Amino acid sequence: MQILKAFEKQEREQATQAGALGPLDDHLYMYHMPYSYTAEQIRKLRTHIFHLPDGRPAPRVIMVTSALPGEGKTLIASNLAVAIAKGEDQRVLLVDCDLRKPSLNDVFKFSRSKGVSEILQGRAEIAECIISTPIDKLAILPAARENPANPSELLESKRAAALVKDLAALGEDWFIIIDTPPL
């Protein structure tokens, strides 16, 4: 699959990497303070996702949203991504779908670059937009180099549904965490 080849290529070539603009955000508790109370709560969330009460398998695509801006959805999504990536057999792709106010670039300290918006507009391929992180088994698909004029329409498009479907097909060891705009 083309996306998996892109990950392999980045590992070999040290392509665009998160953290290039400075240290990762202090609110990445699973990275900076893995034994803190907050990190333990994130691990509890991960455990609930992996061990659903009715015995269903863990979902491979997880969307994180909130009712209002500023409620911490990006930090939950980011910390959950780190927690899952720390597992033995899991890899994570963290996708920034907040096309109006993307913030994963601030949390993971990388320059704004091509991402979901450009993919949905047909101006980029998934493989060329993936950003590696200093955290093993965690990669990021950023929102956009520049905010699009029509973010709602892009996210409601058939291409958006196809993108999620393509990402979900990465494999059984991959989890896709989607950081979305608030409702």
d(CA 147, CA 98): 9
153 burial via Cβ count (<10 Å: 0-12, 13-18, 19+): exposed
Predicted local confidence at residue 93, as pLDDT: 97
- For the chain, the domains span 2-179
Predicted local confidence at residue 2, as pLDDT: 60
What's the fold here for domain 2-179?
Rossmann fold (3.40.50)
Predicted local confidence at residue 51, as pLDDT: 92
CA 73 from centre of chain: 12
Predicted local confidence at residue 10, as pLDDT: 53
Q: Which of 103, 98, 183, 85 is nearest to 139 (CA)?
A: 85
Dihedral in degrees, nearest 10, Cα atoms 151, 155, 157, 160? 130
Predicted local confidence at residue 14, as pLDDT: 43
Q: What is the 8-class DSSP label of residue 132? A: E
Beta bridge partners of 174: 91
Predicted local confidence at residue 21, as pLDDT: 72
Position 165: which residue type? Answer: K
Mean pLDDT per block of 10 residues along the chain (183 residues) reads 58 56 87 95 95 90 94 96 93 96 93 95 94 94 93 93 94 94 88
